[in-house]
Structure 1
Amino acid sequence: MLRAVCSVCGKERTRFSSEPNCECGGVLVPKIDFRYREGPYPVNYPYLERVVSLGEQNTPLLDAGSAKFKLDYFMPTFSYKDRGSKALISSLASMLPKGLEINEDSSGNAGASISAYGTSSGFKVNIFVPENTKPGKINQIKAYGADIHLVKGSRKDVADAAATHPGYYASHVLNPEFRDGMRQLSYEIFRQLDHRSPDRVFVPVSAGTLLLGMVAGFEHLLESGEIDFVPEIVGVQTDAVNPVCSAVNGVTYDKNNSKYSSADALASKEPILMEIMVGKLKKYGKCVTVNEDDIILARSELALKGMYVEYSSATVWAAYKKKHYGGENILVLTGNGLKTP
């Protein structure tokens, strides 16, 4: 079992629980107490007794001149979420019986990923999604065998529906194993750059699993003496929904004033991991926003470069173009454009 401590009370988890968070209600944070090692996937995930795999490989790092693109949509379910699902479902598969219902709330990508890894491991998967979820994402979730539950209301309403459904709440946000799976992204970047850290990494920000897991990976490399510094992290949100950027930049955010954005995967108005995200971005980087026109143009430009991504992924290219960034820049492209044509 992954060692994890509560972000509120500091208590360490000592046993597996039916609840993914701490008894006090706080969020559990992975505790990495071993040195980084070179080798196949399990060596840096020693708590996994078995590994559920759908054939993941290191995703390409494409050098496109002024920037390098980490093509994390080259995953089994076409999004970076497979990194987290692999760690979470591998962990659950060794602790829960086959046939048990596991429930997840998602805007689409996490739902597809949990559905694929969960059903292939013998679980009965229920995915709760907002009623305005794109049909392509719903069809993909269904294809992997999960039952879809459309929920009216906010993202919190969707999460509440999943949390109260019979079975285990396999929340990709609350379960620390999911975030911990994102460490692998940092290791891949490190290896693909000949065992060094880039100057800067751009990532889309919403619920926070990618941001926090990736930062944890670079911190682990630093603590293990493998790199000299954690790269500057540039978190990217939309002008339409930007609670994290507002907090980082000291601006008041009104969740009731949020607008529509084509970047539908970046729609979390009240992220549970908000405080932790803000702390990491203030420590290692910054948070910037991009507008709708910038996003649409960025997606088209990336497609002309041979990278067809969903709008939420294109935000990093839109952000990168807003000013001149020197040094070596990595832009993480998170989801395939076929999900949101």
Structure 2
Amino acid sequence: MITVCLNGHPRIGHELRCRQCNEPFEIIPEKKFTEKIDKNFDYVSDWVTLGEVQTPIVKINGNLLFKLDYFSPTYSYKDRGARNLISYMYSKREELNIEKINEDSSGNAGSSIAAYGARAGFETSIYVPSNANPKKLNQIESYGAHIIKVNGSRDHVQEEAENAPGFYASHILNPEFRDGIRTLAYEIFLQGKMPDNIFVPISAGTLLSGLHSGLMHLYNSGEITKLPVIVGVQPENISPLCSLVNGNKYNPDNNLSSIADALVSKRPLLMKYMVRIMESGNMCISVSENEIIKARKDLAMKGFYTEYSSATVFAAYEKYHPEGSSMLVLTGNGLKN
């Protein structure tokens, strides 16, 4: 493994931003892919587990598949990243003197970090916006984590968590979290034929970057000969990436939100990474609030109960039917709403 920033500068220790250019880091696998999935993460020596399994893929019709990634310990795909990050921290707990960890999250990442943090025996504090989803806060508290509500913007929440005493277990800035989401690409590959298109919701960029990294690892290892097109989806109300790559104006309004409450990152720290991924043959689609609401109802009528943020991918698929086969990654359980 090598860990470098967007500009290719190496990570010296365990810093979250490059000392030369202040960009976040990414982990790039150097060894070839192995079907023993955990062996693809050689920087983890002690795994923290909650009994994860490969999440199911359901064929809807000839060209449409659903990947039910809410079949996870905390009912969200974020468990992929949390398992990897917390396992890395647990492996380094003595070297880095980790006992207390802090995270900032609107809900799902906080739940995942709280659950895996509890399993590892860490004292965990989750910093949340003052208007965070109460159901998600209840889930975080159930794992014994401390909740600290912060007034102001998402940036203020992050600042409070980063400056608090303890290890900052950011799911955005710690490359080990994003790197854990490589497992999504590996599972899709191991469970059958790689689809032509993979639809994923986008907010901070952890899912997009992790999936892309996993696909590139498979491609560079010679396991696949063609990369699927990643179709990223954002709510129209909060669509910084889609607006930028599609040439549309975007003026973030701090008072504007979305019913897709897991997709509310207005100034994502990983924007440069996401743009680079989009420019390599992928695409971004935005969907309206009404389209999201309808998509969630339509999914439920098919038997799939998702949160609104997950339903964005079905709304986008209904709006844009690409050629070939498509897999929609359903990222969060409807009980979270």
Q: What is the TM-score of this pair, normalised by structure 2?
A: 0.96
Structure 2 CA distance, aligned partners of 1:247 and 1:304? 34
- Cα distance, 1:115–1:318 mapped onto 2, change above 3 Å: same
Q: Name the counterpart of 1:186.
A: 185
The AA in structure 2 aligned to 1:283 is S
How many percent identity over aligned positions?
51
Instruction: State the alpha-carbon separation in 2 of the partners of residues 49 and 323 from structure 1.
Output: 43
TM-superposed CA distance for 1:22, in Å, is: 2.2
Aligned length: 333
Query: Alignment RMSD, CA only?
Result: 1.3
> Is the 1:101–1:125 contact (alpha carbons within 8 Å) kept by the matching residues of 2?
yes
Q: Does 1:255 align with 2:252?
A: yes
- Matching residue within 220, 225, 230 for 2:227: 230
Q: Return the offset for 1:132.
A: 0.8
1:75 to 72, 75, 78: 72
Question: For residues 17-62 of structure 1, what are the alpha-carbon distances to aligned partners after superposition, in whole Å with 9 as ceiling and x for unaligned?
Answer: 3x422223221111211100112x3211111111111000000001
Task: State the 1:156 CA deviation.
Answer: 0.7
Residue type of the partner of 1:338? L
Q: CA deviation at 1:285?
A: 1.2
One-letter identity of the residue aligned with 1:13:
R
Counterpart of 1:203 in 2: which secondary structure? strand
Give the Cα separation in 1 of the matches to 2:249 and 2:319.
23
Query: Aligned residue for 2:287?
Result: 290
Give, as a single letter, the amino acid of the residue that structure 2 aligns with 1:254: N
Please tell me whether residue 37 in structure 1 is matched to residue 46 in structure 2: no
Change (3 A) 1:31 1:99: closer
Q: Secondary structure at the match of 2:234?
A: strand
| Preserved contact between residue 299 and residue 306 of structure 2 (Cα < 8 Å) | yes
Q: CA deviation at 1:323?
A: 2.8
**Deviation, structure 1 residue 258:** 6.4
Task: Report the residue type matching 2:266 in the other structure.
Answer: K
- Indicate the residue corresponding to 1:336 in structure 2: 333
Among 241, 245, 248, which residue is 2:242 paired with? 245
Match of 2:216 in 1: 219
Q: Is the 8 A contact 1:179 1:213 kept in 2?
A: yes
Q: Aligned to 1:57, what secondary structure does the other structure show?
A: coil
- TM-score normalized by structure 1? 0.95
Displacement of 1:257: 7.1
Matched, 1:23 2:14: no
CA contact (8 A) 2:153 2:254 kept: no
- Structure 1 residue 325: deviation in Å? 2.2
* Secondary structure in 1 matching 2:295: helix
Q: Is the 8 A contact 1:231 1:284 kept in 2?
A: no
Residue type of the alignment partner of 2:133: K
Q: Which runs of 5+ in 2 are unaligned?
A: none
**Residue among 86, 91, 94 paired with 2:91:** 94
Match of 2:257, SS state, is coil
